[in-house]
Amino acid sequence: MKNIFKIHYTRDEARALLPQVKTWLNQLLVAKRELDSLERKLEKAIGLGDDLGGTMVNKSLRLQAAVREVLQKFAAREIQIKDLERGLIDFPAFVGGREVFLCWETGEDDIEFWHDLDTGYTGREKL
């Protein structure tokens, strides 16, 4: 059977990436909150018939570029963000010769779970 992912992580490799993954998640969360706030302001300005541009739009574009840059870091490593708010992350791996995901969530001390590619969080099993 052909593998879906080109990159696969051992538990130790995924574990070694966790500090960087945590930093990237934090960057995404901060940018998302700022973008959400700016979007509310921009929607209000549009509703008032204001001409848009300037600082708010420039800041929004810079934040969008920063988000894209961080998402590309995940994509280049084939690490998947399953839920940004929860900090739910999947690393492609092999367990028992099968292609699976190593699963980690913010607040967990270590990578202790895996699940099949198609079962998701509810199918998590202890390593």
* Chain position carrying tokens 């509703």: 47
3-state secondary structure labels for all residues of 30-65: HHHHHHHHHHHHHHHHHHCCCCCCHHHHHHHHHHHH
Provide the pLDDT for residue 44. 78
Task: List 105's β-bridge partners, or say none.
Answer: 88
Residue with the bigger pLDDT between 9 and 59: it is: 9
3 falls within a domain: no
On average, the pLDDT of the chain sits at 92
Distance CA 89, CA 56 (A): 31
pLDDT at 49 over 70: no
17 falls within a domain: yes
Q: pLDDT band for position 59 (50/70/90)? A: confident
pLDDT at 4 over 70: yes
pLDDT at 52 over 70: no
6 falls within a domain: no
Lowest mean per-residue pLDDT among 39-48, 49-58, 67-76? 49-58
Q: What is the pLDDT of residues 78-103, one digit of tens each?
A: 999 999 999 999 999 999 999 999 99
- Closest-CA residue to 38 (of 24, 54, 26, 22): 54
31 falls within a domain: yes
Average pLDDT over residues 7-18: 98
Q: What total number of domains does the chain contain?
A: 1
Percent of the chain with pLDDT over 70: 93
Domain hosting residue 61, numbered range: 11-126
2 falls within a domain: no
